[in-house]
């Protein structure tokens, strides 16, 4: 296949390298390169499938262009920068009968897959906590963090969108969210115009409660998830590469150490294999509805319902 990669920053270059490693031809286009050899339209026209890996604010425009041309499209997370744009992407894909997926690589991580496999052992889920933190200045060594899309509202930045993985996998594990309360703020000295910290309180349609804390400020990498069920508790620790399961006085650990690069390759391989991607455009919209509700809740200081919740 020939794969068009739109956006050749770190994520786009990784997709291009993985596509070539899987035996596919790549045609690249970067909106930040005024002297690009091919235009976006030419790259799409030449391709059999499209990967959108530009800054988040450009995802909807580029995805719609690819889908309107009838090309199966994989969009880097998030599906779009706003709920309205995400719904537009999903609608174009649905009405055109074209495959559209979202590159949520944590759905391929052994830690999240391990938690999913344990759901039946935990009993009725009552509470979940998902956490991520890492200083933005350390994310992309050798680059100025202030120039990254993560740091700029105009490009779709902010920790809430950048770490949308946590919301996505909670929805995958616990089902739809009914309402959310939130605090979003910049609490550090980072030179950014977006939030560097997000605290969310979730109420799931199932009746379970959830807490999500995300930040751009921690000096060392941290990612973890706690699931509290009626029968047992499971805790996944990224750094330790294991899940600890506790039931009364009993405790066991499951090795889920994983090379994160494998998850990126798995996302692309899953998409290029055809069929329904592991994370659909509709699921990408669901995660953004939670983001949109969180922004409204933080701005208004009240719990906000999530449109589209079951």
Task: Walk me through the domains of the chain, giving residue ranges and CATH numbers.
Answer: 2-103 (3.40.50.720), 106-260+277-305 (3.30.360.10)
- Short-list 308, 70, 33, CA closest to 175: 308
- Residue 97 falls in which region: left (phi positive, over 0), alpha (psi -120 to 50) or beta: left
Q: What is the pLDDT along the chain (310 residues), one digit of tens a residue?
A: 999 999 999 999 999 999 999 999 999 999 888 777 899 999 999 999 999 999 999 999 999 999 999 999 999 999 999 999 999 999 999 999 999 999 999 999 999 999 999 999 999 999 999 999 999 999 999 899 999 999 999 999 999 999 999 999 999 999 999 999 999 999 999 999 999 999 999 999 999 999 999 999 999 999 999 999 999 999 999 999 999 999 999 999 999 999 999 999 999 999 999 999 999 999 999 999 999 999 999 999 999 999 754 3
Catalytic residue from among 15, 59, 71, 77? 77
Q: Are 3 and 66 in contact (CB under 8 A)?
A: no
Distance CA 31, CA 161 (A): 21
Both tokens of residue 306? 């999530």
**Side-chain half-sphere exposure of 228, counting CA atoms within 13 A:** 10
Q: Are 257 and 153 in contact (CB under 8 A)?
A: no
2 an active-site residue? no
pTM: 0.95
Both tokens of residue 239? 């750094």
What pLDDT does 310 receive? 35
């Amino acid at each position: 296949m020939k794969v068009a990669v739109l956006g050749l920053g770190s994520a786009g270059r990784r997709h291009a390298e993985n596509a070539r490693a899987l035996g596919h031809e790549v045609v690249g286009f970067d909106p930040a390169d005024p002297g690009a050899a091919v235009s976006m339209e030419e790259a799409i026209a030449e391709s059999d499938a499209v990967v959108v890996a530009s800054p988040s604010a450009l995802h909807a425009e580029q995805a719609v262009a690819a889908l309107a041309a009838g090309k199966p499209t994989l969009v880097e997370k998030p599906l779009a920068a706003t709920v309205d744009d995400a719904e537009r992407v999903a609608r174009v894909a649905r009405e055109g009968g074209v495959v559209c997926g979202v590159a949520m690589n944590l759905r391929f991580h052994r830690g999240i897959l391990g938690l999913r496999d344990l759901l039946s052992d935990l009993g009725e889920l009552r509470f979940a906590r998902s956490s991520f933190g890492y200083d933005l200045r350390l994310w992309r060594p050798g680059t100025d963090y202030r120039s990254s899309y993560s740091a700029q509202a105009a490009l779709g930045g902010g920790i809430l969108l950048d770490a949308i993985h946590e919301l996505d996998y909670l929805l995958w594990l616990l089902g739809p969210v009914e309402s959310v309360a939130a605090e979003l703020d910049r609490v550090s000295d980072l030179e950014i115009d977006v939030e560097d910290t997000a605290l969310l309180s979730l109420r799931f349609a199932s009746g379970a409660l959830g807490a999500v804390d995300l930040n751009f400020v921690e000096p060392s990498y941290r990612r973890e998830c706690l699931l509290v069920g009626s029968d047992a508790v499971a805790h996944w620790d990224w750094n330790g590469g294991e899940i600890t399961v506790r039931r009364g006085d009993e405790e066991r650990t499951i090795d889920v150490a994983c090379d994160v690069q494998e998850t990126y390759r798995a996302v692309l391989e899953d998409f290029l294999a055809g069929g329904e991607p592991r994370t659909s455009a509709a699921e990408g919209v669901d995660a953004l509805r939670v983001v949109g509700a969180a922004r409204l809740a933080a701005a208004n200081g009240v719990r906000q319902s999530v449109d589209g919740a079951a």
